[in-house]
Structure 1
Amino acid sequence: MAPSTTTGILLPLLFATSSLAQNTTAPCAISTFSSLSGVEISTVEALQSRSTLLLPDLVPSCGGPNKNVTVSADICRLVANVRTSDSSSIRIEAWLPENWNNRFLATGTGGTGGCIDYSRLQGGAQLGFAAFGTNAGHDGSSGHEFFLNQPEVINDFGHRAIHVEAEVGKQITALFYGREASKSYYDGCSTGGRQALQEAAMYEDDFDGILAGAPGVDWLKIVASKAILARRIGWPGLNSSAYVRPEQWQAIVTKQIELLDGLDGKKDGILDSPQNICFDPALLACGTGVLEQDLCLHPDQVQSVEKAYQPLINGAGDIIYPPFIIGASTGVFSNNQKDGKPILNYSLVRDFWRGAVYNNSDWTENNFTLSDLDYALFINPGGVNSNSRDLSRFHKRGGKVLAYHGLVDTTVTPLLSMEFYKGVQAAVGLSLEEMQSFYRLFLVPGMDHCSTGPGAWNIGQVYPLDSKRLDAANNALLALVDWVESDKAPEFLTGAKYQNDSVSQPILAERRHCPYPSKSRWDGRENRNDARGWACGYV
């Protein structure tokens, strides 16, 4: 059994047991939460559905100071800081809906954290969850200053914030509604997916069900890969014969899709199984006529492109991070110049290594090598890269994991989710059937990082929600609830592609997405844009 708190968390019992005796919703007032200790409440307010919530205090990298969001239900909103050590605290925000479904929902962050995920608060509250978000211990998703000389802030981001959010959030929920939540859930993507699976491994009692999108496990390797891949394609030597320019990469990916799209039986701009495709960049060499003369690859560039699609390998020859995926936009490592100077547009490398790894504002990523990654893995700031593959305790207590990953993810290669799934299976010692009973991974062709893309990517993971698709077949969170509470494991999730990616517009295509390692197959008869023409199978 995991400890109820992590060393350094200054959280006494937050309310008396007698507070749970009431069975009616308490007033939306600070007095309702006065028994909380170690919690500094800044806002308690009642908000009506469809009203506009202004958020003037947000830092620019979180969308401030002019950001506003639509309130998705009649709620009591609470904002508070929770002390996690003598030198750190996290902010949590609660949306407590009037029409509560008796469930608790925590949400995570993205990137280096620092921004409350309002989209998931909106969606959760609309569905009736007592929904919570956190800033993971600092304000902002870009920059390094908040980590400098702040080991406890790094600990919050690395492993502690979601656990504290879960503990305090459940108690806030009980104070407001007069009873504990019947079930507890988590929803997060990218870094939020990492937080999800670390939670399951470290604090198995926090959640009954976990929804993990594009989970950023092995987080340091994910971030470091962008600098390593940039070096592989000739950067920062912008004038070197090996350097492949950003506009060439756009042409490369476009040509990959054009040449390989028909392998799945239909040319629709989507590669159904890019993980199974081998691509020879020599096809794009100058002289082949495949690319225009100003975009074609010279010999050293052919080698650079080949290296870009190879895995990260350590000095012992072991694969430590899977390769980038064919057909995905390469901007995370190929957009690496500004005004003619080398600069990596993917700023997480610079931010985290400056602030949390080296604690040095002058450090630059221009000479990044595997040794920089090795050092980060050795010190593992805040436990951010803790191995969370051993989910045996979470499995034993009956927890469920529903994960999803887009097959054109530009930030976290979907091959990592496949490798992680196999790693959990090995660590827990389960057959495939036993794995499917508690952990299901859905791979989504044509989905980018967490959402968007040319495929039928919408599985209810972003706000606004489509009121016509609020059921377990079309909404991943509701599928998780059905699994946890009714033991109905999701046989598929139906994704939708909307015109202009707006739920207010018509649906252009629907498709069934299947639990790995099965695959979604088109029957060749029904309209390819109709979900009824897709079925799951292992062939």
Structure 2
Amino acid sequence: MTKTSGMTRLCAIALSLAGAVMAAAASAPAQAASASDCAGVLQTLSARAEGAQAKLVGASELQLKGTDWERAPGMNIAGLATQAPNPSFCRVSFVLKPTPASAIRTEVWLPANGWNGKFLGLGNFGWGGSIPFGTMMTGLAQGYAVAANDTGHDETTGHGGRFALGQPEKLEDYAGRANHLMTVQAKRLVARYFGRAASRSYFIGCSLGGLQALIEAQRYPEDYDGIVAGAPPNPLAAFNAAQIWPQWLLAQDPGRFIPKESYASITAAAIAACAGPVGKAQGFIDNPATCGFRPSQLLCRDGAIAGCLNPGQVEFLDLMYRGPVDPKSGHLIFAGPALGSEGQLGMFASGKEFTNAADFFRYAAFQSAQWSPLTMDWSKDIIAAEVSTKGKFAVAPDLGAFLRRGGKLLLYVGWNDYHHPGDLMGWHDAVMARGTAGGIDARSGLRLFVLPGMDHCQGGPGCDTFDKLGIMDAWSSGRKAPESFVASKFENGKLVRQRLTCAYPLVARYRGTGSMDKASSFSCEQAGEAK
């Protein structure tokens, strides 16, 4: 071997070793350090970030536990029954001001040690106005650098959507700008603190957070590699109209009113008519899409029995399940809730205003504090609201840019949610069709899961808890595309049962043997015919 060839070989070995060391460093948990390291990250914030602070927080020191809603097992993004205590981390807080009217309170939490090399952004609920600290705790405990914001307004200073009255820039922040700018700043902080960029970035949200997730995927496709969107109210104007629909119906005919306590007997009748062995044992309809139950079966007749319904109440339920329609065109504005979800109806069919929905039209769309849901013109007002808000709260089924770059989107919703899963199924199918037409394999980046018996984002008699973060990480990292997963039901911190959950259009069916409380007793199959 010549001297030249020997040197060449040694150089090749050195380069190979260097590459291996660099790869190992990139995959190894990051070890970051001190209060000075923490304070130093502020140098990377843009001039649009004001009031910035950075403080090293010791393990288990944080007392911000989040809301009861966040602490529910079904809301735990790692699928855990309880919220883990915080590890040591660098807590960075600041206010983003893209415009003089803006004030987006933002926090970014950076693990002081054991960083898994990844970044997580989190969505909000309802009208936002607060930071989801409880969910941030869960992400941090899983080793992620985590960021969240309050959508640009403080819920303690004003009710619901009132912040949007006469404040177009604050509405713009709420409509998506807040999350995007948070993401940009957070990624800079991550790179500064750890000396390298995050290898993967994920976003998770449900309800409003689910819509925020879709907005991120479509309008800011470079922000995240994987996105989990639960029960996204899309388009928001149509969904909020569906929430207003029961109140409007009752105003037209108060005789339609059904006492809240009567909905349980309606659900029981639907379960008796349509549930399989598992649903009957556990209290829900396994697949409401195949349920042929009709409210007229409960109509009071001669020799009426307790729990029967008068003609007006039967009509009310029929109209509720159908959902609002444009009276001129007959076009369905948004599908009504599925059979078996009657436990969710009381808050919408009490005869009182559901303010969370009314505020969208009152403040965001029509900019009138005097607007009333009872004046809704079903042939004009939903379209007018979408026009006045310039489509900011509607996400068309066009995810081409996100899917082309290898983005992954996991959708989920519960069958017992007021939000009918059929709406999300239709949106999923439209994304698939548009992808096919555009030469994109949408299936490689899109999955939808519908959980039997789950209420809005969590709760209900069904299994509602699953590892959203772990499933997305496995998929986005190229290890496993989710065709099914195991969902759990916890009560008082204890595991009650588990169930297999299958990617749409398949459904989980009981094999006929084995415990109904074990996921191994189920298999993924095609949905059956309506009963």
TM-score range relative to shorter protein? 0.7 to 0.9
Q: Distance in 1 between matches of 2:498 and 2:470?
A: 18
Contact 1:59 / 1:139 at 8 angstroms: preserved in 2? Answer: no
Aligned to 2:5: none
TM superposition shift of 1:39:
0.8
Q: Choose from 57, 61, 64 the match for 1:51.
A: 61
Q: Distance in 2 between matches of 1:258 and 1:514?
A: 24
TM superposition shift of 1:363:
2.1
Secondary structure at the counterpart of residue 212 of structure 1: strand
Match status 1:478 vs 2:470: yes
> Which has the higher mean CA deviation after the structures are superposed, 354-363 or 509-518?
354-363
Contact 2:483 / 2:502 at 8 angstroms: preserved in 1? Answer: yes
5 Å matches for 1:152-167? 152-167=169-184
Q: Please, what TM-score do these two structures have when normalized by structure 2?
A: 0.83
Contact 1:311 / 1:321 at 8 angstroms: preserved in 2? Answer: yes
Match status 1:436 vs 2:448: no
Q: Choose from 133, 136, 140 the match for 2:155.
A: 140
Q: Choose from 497, 500, 504 the match for 1:516.
A: 504
Match status 1:118 vs 2:127: no
Contact 2:120 / 2:147 at 8 angstroms: preserved in 1? Answer: yes
Aligned to 1:472: none
TM superposition shift of 1:27:
4.1
Contact 1:52 / 1:70 at 8 angstroms: preserved in 2? Answer: no
List per-residue Cα deviations over 1:306-363 (Å, max 9, x = no partner). Answer: 11111333332323312211111354565555xxxx522x221232222212222222
Match status 1:526 vs 2:514: yes
Match status 1:170 vs 2:187: yes
5 Å matches for 1:427-506? 427-429=434-436, 434-459=441-466, 475-500=467-492, 502=493, 505=494
Q: Choose from 281, 290, 312 the match for 1:300.
A: 312
Contact 1:425 / 1:431 at 8 angstroms: preserved in 2? Answer: no
Q: Structure 1 residues 333, 156: closer, same or farther in 2, change over 3 A?
A: farther
Match status 1:231 vs 2:248: yes
Q: Choose from 404, 415, 418 the match for 1:407.
A: 415
Q: Choose from 229, 250, 261 the match for 2:275.
A: 261
Q: Distance in 2 between matches of 1:202 and 1:440?
A: 19
Q: Please, what TM-score do these two structures have when normalized by structure 1?
A: 0.82
Secondary structure at the counterpart of residue 32 of structure 2: coil
Q: Structure 1 residues 76, 291: closer, same or farther in 2, change over 3 A?
A: farther
Aligned to 1:321: 334
Please say which structure displays the higher CA radius of gyration.
Answer: 2
> Which has the higher mean CA deviation after the structures are superposed, 98-107 or 260-269?
260-269
Q: Distance in 2 between matches of 1:36 and 1:515?
A: 41
Q: Structure 1 residues 76, 288: closer, same or farther in 2, change over 3 A?
A: farther
Match status 1:535 vs 2:527: no
Same amino acid, percent of matched pairs: 30
One-letter identity of the residue aligned with 2:49: V
> Which has the higher mean CA deviation after the structures are superposed, 353-362 or 519-528?
353-362
Contact 2:125 / 2:209 at 8 angstroms: preserved in 1? Answer: yes
One-letter identity of the residue aligned with 1:378: V
Q: Distance in 2 between matches of 1:291 and 1:368?
A: 37
Q: Choose from 367, 371, 377 the match for 2:375.
A: 367
Contact 1:355 / 1:361 at 8 angstroms: preserved in 2? Answer: yes
How many residue pairs were aligned?
480
TM superposition shift of 1:54:
4.7
Contact 1:62 / 1:115 at 8 angstroms: preserved in 2? Answer: no
Q: Structure 1 residues 309, 335: closer, same or farther in 2, change over 3 A?
A: closer
List per-residue Cα deviations over 1:202-258 (Å, max 9, x = no partner). Answer: 1111100011111222111111111113323x2365xx3333333333432343224
TM superposition shift of 1:263:
6.9
Could you say which structure has the higher helix fraction?
A: 2
Secondary structure at the counterpart of residue 44 of structure 2: coil
Secondary structure at the counterpart of residue 440 of structure 1: strand
Q: Choose from 31, 39, 48 the match for 1:30.
A: 39
TM superposition shift of 1:531:
1.0
One-letter identity of the residue aligned with 1:318: H
TM superposition shift of 1:172:
1.4
Secondary structure at the counterpart of residue 275 of structure 2: helix
One-letter identity of the residue aligned with 1:513: T
One-letter identity of the residue aligned with 2:335: P
Match status 1:40 vs 2:40: no
Q: Structure 1 residues 320, 519: closer, same or farther in 2, change over 3 A?
A: same
List per-residue Cα deviations over 1:443-490 (Å, max 9, x = no partner). Answer: 11111111111112110xxxxxxxxxxxxxxx2211111111124101
Q: Structure 1 residues 112, 384: closer, same or farther in 2, change over 3 A?
A: farther
Secondary structure at the counterpart of residue 176 of structure 2: helix
Secondary structure at the counterpart of residue 393 of structure 1: helix
TM superposition shift of 1:48:
2.5
One-letter identity of the residue aligned with 1:442: F
Q: Distance in 1 between matches of 2:145 and 2:302?
A: 59
RCO (CA 8 Å, sep 6+): is it higher in 1 or 2?
2
Secondary structure at the counterpart of residue 486 of structure 1: coil
Secondary structure at the counterpart of residue 320 of structure 1: coil
One-letter identity of the residue aligned with 2:374: N
Match status 1:279 vs 2:267: no
Aligned to 1:81: 95
Match status 1:204 vs 2:231: no
Q: Distance in 2 between matches of 1:157 and 1:288?
A: 55
Q: Distance in 2 between matches of 1:262 and 1:36?
A: 56
Match status 1:395 vs 2:403: yes
Aligned to 1:357: 365
Aligned to 1:470: none
One-letter identity of the residue aligned with 1:364: S
Q: Structure 1 residues 290, 331: closer, same or farther in 2, change over 3 A?
A: farther
Contact 2:257 / 2:349 at 8 angstroms: preserved in 1? Answer: no
